[in-house]
Structure 1
Amino acid sequence: MTYLLFVLGLVALFFGGELLVRGATAVARHFRLSPMLIGLTIVGFGTSAPEMLVSVQAALAGQPAIAIGNVLGSNIANILLILGISSVIAPLVIPVKKLWRDLGFMLLATAVIWIMLLDGAVMRLDGVLLIAGLVVFLVTAFLTSKVEDIEVGQGDVVQWKAWAMTLGGLIVLVVGARLLVNSSTELARAFGISEAVIGLTIVAVGTSLPELATSLIAAIRKQTEIAVGNIVGSNIFNIFAILGVTALIDPIPADPRFASVDMVWVSASALGLSILAFALGGLPRIAGVALLLAYGGYVVLI
């Protein structure tokens, strides 16, 4: 039964990802918004819904190792694993002129949470500051976004269908991720794997599967702005919103290893993506291979 749930979850993820990319692209065209903005907000935040659910539930259940490990592990997996796989399948172009501000927000969010974890806990006041950071990011993103000169053609999806596809895709992604996380966690516990490692790997990768499905499909459909914006927006949302909301519910004590080990990888992956974006203007296949090798090294380390 566990294996069946795993397969059903996988199918739901890729079906939901296809719906989400098609719907979000149609919404962007209708409102003449850039695919990058849609990727950073609707797609990026929407695909982070599983991380939000898992982290809040973990906090309420008194399991902070899974709550924090889920977010940090997801941010590592988003860049090293998901962008790695996506760029190996289809090299990604990163429009630095459009994304430099958002890469800066991602680096800022990473630095802020690292400083908070050095104290050994993310307190309620920290949660307020993180939520404030999210509000500043959203306001800045929409105020500085430019209307795209896009010609709306007869072949475009009708708007109510586009919104239905977008919302339906998000719901299917959340359900699929939940099925995969539950089944994978049961299998891992059967093999005696600790909760901290489960949070950093299986749960983190499991809740990042919507991002994987969405970015892969976007890359295949040549919607590279959505593929990259999805990951950057998701990483920002994971820190500002998920850890912010979780800390407001209940202060989160943090194991020292999060600040001394895992944050090094979170910061290195975020900084590495930014350097590649500015130096190469994207992620060629060789960069994707390097990202995948780095993720393999991280998994072996923990």
Structure 2
Amino acid sequence: MSYLEVFIGLVCLLWGAEVMLRGTVAVASRMGISPLVIGMTVIAFGTSAPELVVGVTSALSGFGAIALGNIVGSNIANIFLILGATGIVAPILVHPRALRADATVMLLSTLFFAGLSWRATIGRGAGGILVAVLIGSLWNAYQREKKGRSAAAHLHVREAEEYRDVDVNIWAAWGFMVVGLSGVVFGSKLLVDGGVDIARTWGVSEAVIGLTLVALGTSLPELATALVAARRGHGDVALGTVIGSNIFNVLGVGGISALTHPLGVPEQMRHFDLWVMLAATFAIYYMLMLGRPIGRKISLLFLLAYGLYIFAQGIGADKIAGWFAGS
């Protein structure tokens, strides 16, 4: 029954996130909101909606380890799995001018989130700071790109255009948004409940379930978006979507989840998983700064890295964390 719950939850998450995102973009467009704002905010929020709902649901249910594991695991999957799979479909051309600012925000946000996590607890005060940093960074980026219409601004506009193919009236768009959100909430509840049951059945920690099963499930919208963009020859849009999602995960999902309920950080995450997330973030940041394309060789390395990470969870990442903690 637990596996059926997880399967139905994953289907509802993927379907609900897609429907909600397209409905939200349609509503925003018909309300006169510019494609720039849609690309900067709505797309990042929409693709991270499963992480947000799972984070809040887990925190309210007392499963803070799943909420945190979902954030860390999703960011790792976004870089190693999603960009790896996307680069296999079509090489991703990197334009440093378009992504330098966003990539820097991603790096600094990830470092800040990791720093808070190493304190063993992310309280409501820290959660409020994370949300404030997200709002401030979005406002600063909007003001900067609105004035200069930089390469980054054009990329955000193209992100919005990926979802502007739904020709519906305003009421139908609202209906898509509400129905999609309902699917995300329902799917998140099934995924969390089923994941907790599986963890108890197999004797693994809730953190491991959050880092693997739940994180992979909530990353499905980003994966679908990235693969579609790659097939259309818009690999840079896929990269921009991943960067925006990673920023929103650590600041928005992390902040709102902590505001809902303080999050205790398991030792395994402090000594192993946070370091993997930082390594993945530094890897993509380094490539962006160099302007190197993400071709098939690098994509295969990313996929191998993700496979090794999942393997480490299978053999006991808590033991690996213990080795690092004791060294």
TM-score range, shorter chain: 0.7 to 0.9
Q: Does 1:191 align with 2:191?
A: no
Moved more, 84-93 or 250-259: 250-259
Corresponding residue SS for 1:71? helix
Matched, 1:46 2:46: yes
Query: 2:114 aligns to what?
Result: 114
In structure 2, the gaps of 5 or more residues are 318-327
Shift of 1:47: 1.4
1:283 is paired with a residue whose SS is: coil
1:63-212 superposed matches below 5 A: 63-145=63-145, 146=149, 148=154, 157=167, 160=170, 186-187=197-198, 189-212=200-223
Partner in structure 1 of residue 249 of structure 2: 238
Distance apart, 1:256 and its partner CA: 2.7
1:259 equivalenced with 2:263 (yes/no):
no
| Contact preservation (8 Å) 2:207, 2:266 | no
The percent identity for this pair of structures is 39
Find out whether 1:60 has 2:60 as its counterpart. Answer: yes
For 1:133 and 1:249, locate their aligned partners in 2 and report how far apart those are by CA, in whole Å. 17
Q: Which moved more, 1:40-49 or 1:104-113?
A: 40-49
1:299 aligns with 2:310: yes
Distance 2:73 2:213 in 1: 9
Contact 2:40 2:138 (C-alpha < 8 Å) held by counterparts: no
Q: Deviations over 1:164-204 (max 9, x none)?
A: 77887676666666655655655554433321210111111
1:276 aligned partner, one-letter code: M
Q: Which runs of 5+ in 1 are unaligned?
A: none
Distance 2:15 2:57 in 1: 26
Would the aligned equivalents of 1:78 and 1:208 in 2 still touch at CA under 8 Å? Answer: yes
Q: Check if 1:247 corresponds to 2:258.
A: yes
Aligned-partner SS, 1:93 = coil
Deviation sequence 1:16-74 (CA, Å, 0-9, x none):
6776787799888x97746xx75542222211111111111222222221121111111
Residues 179 and 227 of structure 1: CA distance in aligned 2, closer, same or farther (over 3 Å)? farther
Aligned-pair RMSD on alpha carbons? 3.3
* SS of corresponding position for 1:92: coil
8 Å contact kept, 1:40–1:234? no
- Work out whether residues 177 and 210 of structure 1, in 8 Å CA contact, stay in contact via their aligned partners in 2: no
Q: What code does the residue aligned with 1:120 have?
A: A
- Deviations along 1:125-164, whole A, 9 cap, x unmatched? 21121111101111122112226599x9xx9957858887
Alignment partner, residue 237 of structure 2: 226
What is the CA–CA distance in structure 2 between the aligned matches of 1:180 and 1:218, rounded to whole Å?
27
TM-aligned CA distance change 1:65 to 1:191, over 3 Å? same
Q: Distance in 1 between matches of 2:261 and 2:4?
A: 35
Q: How many residues align?
A: 297
Question: CA deviation digits over 1:86-129, x for unaligned, max 9?
Answer: 11112222322111111111111111112112221112221121
Deviation (angstroms), 1:257:
2.5
Which whole-Å CA distance do the structure 2 matches of 1:25 and 1:249 have between them? 27
